[in-house]
A and B are shown apart, each in its own frame.
Chain A
Amino acid sequence: MQPLGSTTTTAATAAQVPMTAAAITSNFQELIKEPKGLDEAANYLYQTLVDDAVAGIFIETHHLRKTNNLTALDGVCEENAESTYRICEMPNLDIFGISTAKKPMDCTCPNCDRLVAAARFAPHLEKCMGMGRNSSRIASRRLATKEGTSASSSSSSTYLQSGNAGGTDDEDDVDWSSDKRKKKSTQNSRNNGSKKNNGKTF
């Protein structure tokens, strides 16, 4: 970590004046013999090493800055994030501040634009689009009425008419939506509706 500046200078002087290990040792021992020399040596060594450490830390920091890691270490100021991502600790809210109360999940049917409870959406869509064995009758009937009315009236009225004609299963779809769910009456209304419808159309 510390730069070896002092080491390299030592090597340079050693190259200039070739010295044996014994000479170095004797040199040092002579220096250290008196307490004053020892103090001086200790102080010098301490000072050098501290300076080396400082230079090391400085260069480390300098490197961090040059590689843009200093700003990365600082991190981004999160004033906005503070308010946006603050964890909410209200009793009836979740951590995002949204109510934990169960909200009705309704889907809009793409075919008849009606709100249908999510759990009932698939059965509804099946019926509404005229698939499956039970509803194929209704679907074919609806198709028949659509063809019949489209010949006589404009396209908008055709849509209305077909909506009315499909009212039989739409009626029970209203029952299926999450607000009011009556299973028994649905069965009745479906039967009644289909009977009624049969009477009307045929």
Chain B
Amino acid sequence: MTVSDAVDQYTIMSGDRSKIKDLLCNRLTECGWRDEVRLLCRNILLDKTGNNSVTVEQLIAEVTPKARTLVPDAVKKELLMKIRTILAENEAENNSN
């Protein structure tokens, strides 16, 4: 049982995942990250237009690291804090139950 499986299963089961995802999406849209990434994707797509051998997965693998670095530090910190508190809250609730 790896960390990823445990976290995935639990967050999906408890409904935290969609909650956190909404929060994350809102924050990233607010800080303009979404537009930056959209531009990045656009440029990459336009660059690779003629090349049919490139798969979407490859392109996504190319975009992802760049997009990660584009997230502002403040937003990243805030989101990590929020995620941690949400996960911790759940633990506290479960313990009390």
Q: Give which listed residue, B20, B38, B59, B60, contacts A49 with CB less than 8 A.
A: B20
Asked if B67 contacts A38 (CB within 8 A), the reply is no
Which residues of chain A in 20-69 are interfacial with respect to chain B, using CB atoms and an 8 Å cutoff? 21, 24-25, 27-29, 31-33, 37-55, 57-62, 65
Docked-complex contact A57 and B38, CB < 8 angstroms: yes
Given contacts A53-B24, A61-B42, contact A14 B9 (CB under 8 A): yes
Interface centre among B4, B28, B63 (most CB of A within 10 A): B4
| A48 CB contacts on chain B under 8 angstroms | 4, 8
CB of B94 closer than 8 Å to a CB of A: yes
Tell whether, in the assembled complex, residue A27 and residue B10 are in contact, meaning their CB atoms are under 8 Å apart: yes
Q: Which residues from A are CB-within-8-Å of B17?
A: 45
Contact partners of A27 in chain B: CB under 8 A: 1, 6, 9-10
Inter-chain contact count A-B, CB under 8 Å? 124
Identify which of residues 114-144 in chain A touch chain B, using a CB-to-CB cut-off of 8 Å.
Answer: none
Q: How far is the CA of A61 from the CA of B51 in the complex (A)?
A: 17
| With contact pairs A50-B68, A62-B41 given, residues A19 and B9 touching in the complex (Cβ less than 8 Å) | yes
The distance in angstroms between the C-alpha atoms of A21 and B88, with both chains bound, is: 18
Q: Contact: A38 with B5, CB < 8 Å? A: no
Please, how many angstroms separate the alpha-carbon atoms of A57 and B37 in the complex?
A: 7
Asked if B1 and A62 sit within 8 Å, CB to CB, the answer is no
Q: Is the CB of A51 within 8 A of B64?
A: yes
Say whether, besides A6-B8, A25-B10, A62-B56, A46 and B21 are in contact (CB < 8 Å).
no
Task: State in angstroms the CA–CA spacing of A50 and B23 once bound together.
Answer: 11
Partner of A41, one of B7, B21, B68: B7
Q: Does chain B have a CB within 8 A of A7?
A: yes
B74 within 8 A of A: no
Give residues in A with beta carbon < 8 Å to B.
1-2, 6-7, 9-10, 13-14, 19, 21, 24-25, 27-29, 31-33, 37-55, 57-62, 65, 70
16 A–B contact pairs at CB < 8 A? A1-B25, A2-B21, A7-B8, A10-B12, A25-B94, A29-B95, A32-B91, A37-B3, A45-B87, A46-B79, A46-B80, A49-B24, A52-B21, A53-B28, A54-B37, A61-B42
Q: Which residues of B contact A (CB under 8 A)?
A: 1, 3-13, 17, 20-21, 24-25, 28, 34, 37-38, 41-42, 45-46, 49, 56, 59-60, 63-64, 67-68, 71, 76, 79-80, 83-84, 87-88, 91, 94-95
